[in-house]
């Protein structure tokens, strides 16, 4: 038995000592490390193995080339940077960092950036980081992580005293936090898609967590934060402790949904929170079935020094809209500004849209569980008289122990009431349809598309069209838009409803998937009969499924013939990438007589 135990222990010993570059100002790559690291790095481009920790010395630089595939083979393997590290792939040729064991709790060390005067020159871009203990860890360093995919890491991003730039990444299914920061970190976190992090699911290790730290001013902007993996996990949390600690965080333009809560701002021991929370869409954060524990769109908790400005947010479908509390008892607490039109400052004038935060038959759009009064003026509550709004707010009018919510004046304008928004995919196009019940000052709708993939660069919304609105109307109207000739993949769509004064709001996001064509197809023209124009659709399959393609497209011809077989017109004669196409044939351009015509698609030896 003793011999068996000894063999088991020895099987975990790493025969390779970690390697530190000499610090002589040399720019290293993985090929040179394979020559000089005594087996810590092995392989040749594009495939490498890293068997222990690589430490980049303060004066050195390590570059990893686009297209590299790097496997970390032991739990002690990783890359620690005291100098400069650059792993810069491309959209079509990313860099893969993975492990020999698919351990969703984090198998190898991952990436650690330490203090260095040039740390902002370090960059990971267009990379895929799988199964690392820390996908991206910064201690007194501020590198850049962009356009990358972090999947099933122990922690996606961890920052300590760091002003790193975290931009346009996908961070999915981290075992604990998606992004966490401590010790006076003020990073820029922008354009990321955080999805179903905290698979550990034992506590509220939130998708973005700003933990106990000194002074900070992080910017968390234009991210998509989607939960659903575990009941405890919230969207964004900020905790400030102690009267000398101040947070001037800006949380703006994010879409936060399907989490345990949307945003929590928590002050203990008189921690000062001057955060600005604006222009977020916070909806359906109700995956925790216990509404007494969680479920707020925005929760403002703790001491009276918690004084954020809450403006221009859309908050709906949560268990609670906005909750204000100091623990579980009714006592003095936070003093948020949810809209104040009585002062001279116009940057705090509310303009939130807060509606439909429901538990059973009760609406809790705002709940003041403190004794102090709260300003929440100039907001749209989904109803447009004071008695109805009273039914949506819990405060002094419901229980005299609680403070008053000053919600008058409130928005009197009926918003654009969107009652449906759907997408249907067919034959290489997506038909969007939506309906409104009422409209006020509606200039129209920008249609925005977002191609979903596991590369962060595809997370940017692009405007693909505009449909004019009906101005002001109390009648129902139907709208349509067709997105044509798109390639296979998953797509998300949303509507940006724009008012005549330039203000705007976003619809929910809906998703569709276009599948890769797997065979040639020539469809019947339409209309048929026609005069003088008709449309012809055809499908060219993906290169891997297309025997006539050499990976560079397929030479396609589409010709029109009369009943005797005489060629009358060439409609298409060019190389085509895989996809679904629609072309128009105009008979008037050829002075053709009425009668029956034929058309033929030729692609390699395929003919129809």
Q: What is the pLDDT of residues 239-256, one digit of tens each?
A: 999 999 999 999 999 999
Structural tokens at position 137: 């860890």
Which segment, 268-282, 520-534, 559-573, is predicted with the most confidence on average? Answer: 268-282
Cβ–Cβ under 8 Å, residues 568 and 587: no
**Side-chain half-sphere exposure of 598, counting CA atoms within 13 A:** 10
Question: Which are the contacts of 72, defined by CB distance < 8 A and separation ≥ 6?
Answer: 49, 50, 78, 97, 98, 99, 100, 107, 108, 109, 132
Least confident of 102-111, 212-221, 550-559: 550-559
Q: Which residue has the tokens 């650059």?
A: 86
Predicted confidence (pLDDT) at residue 510 exceeds the cutoff of 80: yes
Across the range 114-137, mean pLDDT stands at: 97
Over range 283-296, report the average pLDDT.
95
- DSSP letters along 64-110, please? E-TT-EEEE-STT-EEEESSEEEEE--SSS-EEEEESS--TT-SEEE
Give the count of alpha carbons within 13 A of 381, CB side only: 27
* SS3 at position 408: coil
Q: What is the pLDDT of residue 8?
A: 39
CB neighbours (10 Å) of residue 131?
25
pLDDT reported for residue 18: 94
Top-confidence residue, 454 or 42: 42
CA distance 285 to 325: 18
Q: What is the dihedral of CA 245, 247, 248, 251, to 10 degrees?
A: 180
pLDDT at 2 over 50: no
pLDDT at position 152: 97
How much is the average pLDDT of 481-497? 84
What's the pLDDT tens digit per position in 392-414?
Answer: 999 999 999 999 999 999 887 66
Task: Give the per-residue pLDDT at 546.
Answer: 43
* pLDDT band, residue 3 (cuts 50/70/90): very low
pLDDT, position 76: 97
What radius of gyration do the chain's Cα atoms show?
29
Q: Could you give the percent of the chain with pLDDT greater than 90?
A: 68
Cα 532 to Cα 566: distance, rounded to the nearest angstrom: 20
Task: Write down the pLDDT at residue 514.
Answer: 78
Tokens representing residue 556 in the block: 């396609």
Confidence of residue 327 (pLDDT cuts 50, 70, 90): very high
Residue range 29-39: mean pLDDT, rounded = 97
Residue 42, burial from CB neighbour count under 10 angstroms (0-12, 13-18, 19+) = middle
pLDDT of residue 543: 57
Token pair of 608 as six digits: 């129809």
Joined together, the tokens standing for residue 109 give 């060390």
Specify the pLDDT at position 172.
97
What average pLDDT does the chain have?
Answer: 90
Q: What pLDDT shows up at residue 548?
A: 44
Which of 4-13, 153-162, 167-176, 351-360 has the least mean pLDDT? Answer: 4-13
Which residue intervals of 366-466 are DSSP H helices? 386-390
Mean pLDDT lowest among 29-43, 143-157, 343-357, 524-538: 524-538
Contacting residues for 305 by C-beta, under 8 A, at least 6 apart: 243, 267, 270, 271, 272, 273
pLDDT of 517 reads 67
Task: Give pLDDT, residue 214.
Answer: 79
How long, in residues, is the chain? 608
Q: What is the mean pLDDT of residues 330-356?
A: 95
Burial of 596 (0-12, 13-18, 19+ CB in 10 A): exposed
The confidence score (pLDDT) of residue 436 equals 92
In this structure, what DSSP letter does residue 329 have? B
Contacts of 338 (CB under 8 A, 6+ apart): 310, 311, 322, 350, 352, 366, 374, 375, 376, 377, 379
Q: What is the pLDDT of residue 414?
A: 66
pLDDT for residue 439? 86
């Amino acid at each position: 038995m003793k011999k068996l135990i000894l063999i088991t222990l020895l099987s975990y010993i790493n025969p390779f000592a970690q390697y530190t570059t000499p610090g002589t100002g040399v720019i290293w790559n993985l090929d040179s490390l394979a020559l000089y690291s005594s087996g810590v790095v092995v392989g040749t481009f594009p495939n490498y193995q890293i068997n222990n920790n690589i430490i980049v010395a303060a004066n050195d630089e390590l570059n990893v080339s686009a297209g590299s595939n790097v496997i970390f083979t032991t739990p002690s393997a990783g890359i620690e940077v005291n100098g400069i590290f650059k792993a810069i792939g491309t959209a079509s040729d990313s860099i893969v960092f993975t492990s020999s064991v698919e351990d969703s709790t984090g198998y190898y060390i991952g990436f650690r950036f330490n203090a260095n005067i040039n740390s902002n020159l370090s960059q990971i871009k267009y990379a895929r980081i799988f199964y690392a203990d820390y996908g991206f860890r910064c201690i007194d360093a501020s590198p850049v992580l962009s356009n990358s995919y972090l999947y099933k890491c122990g922690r996606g991003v961890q920052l300590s005293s760091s002003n790193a730039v975290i931009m346009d990444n996908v961070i999915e299914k981290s075992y604990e936090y998606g992004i966490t920061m401590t010790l006076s970190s003020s990073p820029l976190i922008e354009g990321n898609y955080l999805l179903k992090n905290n698979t550990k699911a034992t506590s509220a290790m939130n998708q973005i967590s700003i933990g106990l730290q000194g002074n900070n001013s992080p910017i968390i902007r234009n991210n998509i934060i989607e939960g659903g993996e575990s009941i405890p996990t919230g969207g964004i949390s900020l905790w400030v402790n102690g009267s000398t600690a101040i947070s001037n965080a800006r949380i703006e333009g994010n879409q936060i949904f399907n989490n345990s809560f949307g945003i929590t701002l928590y002050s203990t021991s008189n921690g000062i929170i001057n955060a600005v929370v604006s222009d977020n869409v916070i909806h359906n954060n109700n995956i925790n079935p216990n509404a007494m524990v969680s479920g707020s769109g925005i929760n403002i908790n703790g001491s009276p020094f918690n004084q954020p400005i809450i403006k221009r947010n859309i908050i709906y479908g949560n268990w609670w809209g906005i909750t204000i509390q100091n623990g579980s008892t009714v006592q003095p607490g936070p003093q948020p500004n949810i809209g104040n039109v009585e002062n001279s400052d116009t940057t705090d004038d509310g303009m939130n849209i807060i509606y439909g935060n429901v538990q059973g038959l009760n609406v809790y759009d705002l709940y003041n569980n403190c004794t102090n009064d709260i300003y929440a003026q100039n907001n749209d509550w989904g109803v447009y008289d004071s008695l109805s709004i009273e039914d949506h707010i819990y405060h002094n009018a419901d229980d005299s122990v609680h403070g008053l919510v000053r919600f008058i004046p409130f928005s009197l304008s009926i918003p654009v009431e969107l009652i449906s928004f759907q997408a249907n995919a067919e034959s290489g196009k997506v038909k969007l349809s939506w309906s409104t019940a009422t409209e006020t000052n509606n200039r129209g709708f920008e249609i925005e598309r977002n191609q979903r993939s596991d590369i962060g660069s595809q997370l940017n919304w692009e405007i693909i069209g505009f449909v004019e609105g009906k101005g002001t109307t109390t009648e129902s109207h139907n709208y349509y838009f067709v997105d044509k000739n798109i390639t296979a993949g998953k797509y998300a769509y949303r509507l940006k409803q724009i008012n005549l004064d330039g203000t705007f709001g976003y619809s929910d996001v809906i998703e569709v998937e276009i599948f890769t064509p797997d065979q040639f197809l020539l469809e019947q023209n339409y209309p048929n009969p026609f005069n003088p124009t008709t449309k012809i659709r055809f499908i060219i399959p993906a290169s891997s499924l297309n025997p006539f393609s050499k990976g560079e497209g397929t030479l396609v011809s589409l010709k029109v013939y009369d009943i005797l077989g005489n060629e009358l017109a060439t409609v298409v004669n060019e190389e085509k990438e895989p996809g679904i196409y629609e072309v128009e044939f105009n008979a008037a351009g050829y002075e053709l007589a009425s009668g029956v015509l034929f058309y033929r698609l030729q692609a390699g030896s395929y003919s129809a």
